[in-house]
Amino acid sequence: MEVIRFGSVKFKRTGAPWFSAATKLPTEHAWRRCAIAFLTVFFGGLGAIYSFLLVVDPYDTGRLPTPLPTGVFSGQGLFETGQRTGSASRGRDPRFNAAVFGNSRAQLLDPAKLSDATGLSFVQLSIPGSGPREQMTLMRYFLRHHPDAEAMVLGVDERWCDHDPSLPVEFPFPFWLYRGNLEYLAHLLSTRAFTEAQTRIKLAMGLVSPADPRGYVDYQTGHAWSFHPPDASDGGPAAAAIPANTFFPALEQFGVLLAELPLQTRLVVMLPPVYHTALPRPGTQDAADLPACKAELARRLGRRASAVLDYLVVGPISSEPKNFMDLVHYRLNIARLIESRVASVLVAGTRTRARIAE
């Protein structure tokens, strides 16, 4: 019996105390077995999930054999993720021998129409919000899978004239998806990949619809036209001339890519139009840099380009609001015009540096 005292009050308790020498503590061996069992289950589960992702190939990269058919879910046309990851499937598709690259200012070029007009097989690999770094990554990816590519069309906008040598990325982009196998394997294990894997299985079962294999996304159809820009002021008296900054790191890296381009691959570079008020104002640094950037682009291209189609100028296209959805995105009528010019260059098969200002 045990007597417990609280002040002047005594309590009696019978039975064995809550702890005694007879109580057995877990041994070190037992703890070790428990830890080993936990780690085995944990890493075994991760290994099973990783193996599942390798077999399913959630982004349809074709790096390892998979029982699932090629293609990606139609919901992957979304700006946030779909075109950024879906290009891994489209960019390796052997059905295509030509491609369009750029951002949303090149995405309205219809690969089916370009294919019909040229006899080639085009795929659209433009990524909204992308810049030179992402676009050159995709060009190399396409060439890696299509060493005999017949043609490439590249939309070059003002971001190619930036002076930042880091080539900043405005929106997240999965570079690992388009580069080496080791980098791909290191980034594959993620909740997003697991979600994409489930969608790939649903696609194989016919539960969801596949995306257009050509990757075309039309940002105009289904959206009412409502672009009514205010009248532009004259901007006051002309400012003094500003020396141009001729350091264009994106074009330097583009020169390296051009050296890797197969000789049979025809290249058309297109500078997309903008509404005239979106062009650099005279007297600004951007206004001084743009002509210098164009000249450097032409120098880098040399005779390597079939054509340079320069619509980034003041002219009939840039002066008409009905040609644009907003300040920098042209409408379908302009897309059809650009497609026609691109097709005529490719069909002619000439390698001349043509500056076409509308």
Intervals of the chain under pLDDT 50: 76-80, 351-358
Question: Residue 354: what pLDDT?
Answer: 43
pLDDT for 68 equals 85
Element (H, E) at 36: helix 28-56
Output the pLDDT for position 26: 64
Extents of the domains making up the chain: 77-178+213-229+240-348
Quote the CATH superfamily of domain 77-178+213-229+240-348.
SGNH hydrolase (3.40.50.1110)
Give the E-state strand segments of the chain in sequence order: 2-6, 9-13, 98-101, 122-124, 151-155, 266-271, 307-310
**Crossing angle between the packed helical segments 132-145 and 249-260, to the nearest 10 degrees:** 10
Q: Under a CB-based contact definition with an 8 Å cutoff, are residues 325 and 105 in contact?
A: no
* Cβ-Cβ contacts under 8 Å for 206 (sequence gap 6 or more): none
pTM of the model: 0.84
Query: Cβ(134)–Cβ(169) under 8 Å?
Result: yes
What is the pLDDT at residue 323?
97
**CA torsion 253→256→262→267, rounded to 10°?**
40
User: What one-character-per-residue DSSP string does 127-181 give?
Assistant: -TT--HHHHHHHHHHHHHH-TT--EEEEE--GGGG---TT---SS---GGGGS-H
Q: What is the predicted pLDDT for the residue at 352?
A: 45
Query: CA 110, CA 102: separation in Å to the nearest integer?
Result: 13
